[in-house]
A = this chain, B = another copy of it.
């Protein structure tokens, strides 16, 4: 580890007062979500049974580039923000690269990841509208922990469906949710029709985010005064996460640099969009040439190997149809440790941006991500979450390229969370028992071909 470490913080008054909504600036707006029954574009009101009204409004808002952060939410942000922007001198030295590597450290939030940025906003709007219960799904538990915390802050009840494999593999995150007072149920469960259907067909089913979403959505639809909240994929979630990139923009200015490459790991798009969109607006509007790289797991490669197509957001087809890069909602990803990246589709904004060439994607195998995470931990002293290891691996690939070419590129990545609760994964890596998972073309083709039936 280098002893020369440099962190940049914002003064409290410089913490952004607005989120940035890239939809307003996109040359091609995303296609609209469709009602699966009528195939007609969803209207704001169509979302009211599921979401708080303000969140439904935000979801479809394609005209306002700047959305005010409510003062109460900004006050809560101050409890852990600004998060540090760190010049990763240690990592640069470990790699022997001429690149300047920066990371935005979202792991310093009280629940250990960026997820709180949207959880606080979503629960705030629910509370404002008199909602008393929220329900959601979670994979590894980063989002569930954030939602449980936010629900506690605003005095709202939270019910979380956690993907069963993570519920069992990572009991600590379940305990954290329970410590904050949330109800946690392993998914698939017998408490919903969606869960029962899965378990009837496959009693040993280990769950997926798609299934857990079905269960949470069903609970919200059948429970009075209960709304559904989501930790990624949706437009308004990425909107709230732009606090990351907006801070980073000011902090990079303090460092006297501007990124040539911006990198985030990719599950549904919340942390990637959060770090990227504020910088991407300068590509769209000001002719900047920054590259944006989404790093997804090779075992769940929707951006690199999926199709751009209308698909459901969940397994059972309870959500609207979304235009996205997808592996098909029946795709069952392998049990990698980066539970937060085990999702079949990409958010609609990201999907449009990828289609239009504003960004790139890479897929990375699990062992490469942990190898990279370990290099980072030893160099910077922070143990990254398995999800974040994907961003680190992509950053290291870019830094290695600079080593070959001698270019002093400025690389910025988002450290979405810490891995202190994922140490069993590191144990497996260190003991050589961690697996990579291949996805066959046949499997992708099979799931994707089913999608053509949906939109007909």
Query: Interface of A with B (CB < 8 Å)?
Result: 1, 3-5, 7, 72, 75-76, 78-79, 108, 110-112, 149, 152-153, 171-172, 175-176, 178-181, 374, 377-378, 381-383, 420-421, 423-424, 426-427, 430
B7 touches A79 (CB 8 A): yes
A381 touches B172 (CB 8 A): no
- Residue from B3, B108, B378 within 8 A of A180 (CB atoms): B378
| Contact flag A420-B421 (CB < 8 Å), given A5-B79, A76-B3, A374-B179 | yes
Query: CB-nearest residue of chain B relative to A378?
Result: B152
Bound CA span A382–B80, Å: 11
Residues in B whose Cβ lies below 8 Å from that of A152: 1, 378, 381
B179 touches A426 (CB 8 A): yes
| Contact flag A423-B75 (CB < 8 Å), given A381-B153, A382-B110 | no
Query: CB-nearest residue of chain B relative to A383?
Result: B179
A426 touches B1 (CB 8 A): no
A180 touches B79 (CB 8 A): no
A381 touches B78 (CB 8 A): no
A sample of 7 more A-B contacts (CB under 8 A), given A171-B423, A171-B424, A175-B423, is: A79-B381, A171-B427, A175-B430, A178-B430, A179-B378, A179-B423, A180-B378
| Contact flag A421-B72 (CB < 8 Å), given A377-B179, A381-B79, A426-B179 | no
Bound CA span A424–B176, Å: 10
B112 touches A381 (CB 8 A): no
9 interchain pairs, CB-CB under 8 A: A1-B152, A3-B153, A110-B382, A172-B172, A172-B420, A179-B378, A179-B426, A181-B378, A421-B421
Bound CA span A180–B172, Å: 22
B75 touches A5 (CB 8 A): yes
CB distance from A111 to the nearest CB of B (A): 8
Residues in B whose Cβ lies below 8 Å from that of A172: 172, 420-421, 423-424
B79 touches A423 (CB 8 A): no
Residues in B whose Cβ lies below 8 Å from that of A110: 381-382
Bound CA span A149–B111, Å: 22
Query: CB-nearest residue of chain B relative to A149?
Result: B381
CB distance from A171 to the nearest CB of B (A): 7
Interface centre among A76, A176, A423 (most CB of B within 10 A): A423
For the complex of A and B, the 7 pairs showing the least CB-CB separation, nearest first, are A175-B423, A172-B423, A1-B153, A110-B381, A5-B79, A175-B427, A420-B420
B424 touches A377 (CB 8 A): no
| Contact flag A377-B112 (CB < 8 Å), given A75-B5, A171-B423, A175-B426 | no
B3 touches A176 (CB 8 A): no
CB distance from A343 to the nearest CB of B (A): 25
Bound CA span A381–B178, Å: 12
CB distance from A9 to the nearest CB of B (A): 8
Bound CA span A261–B178, Å: 32
Residues in B whose Cβ lies below 8 Å from that of A3: 72, 75-76, 153
Bound CA span A112–B382, Å: 10
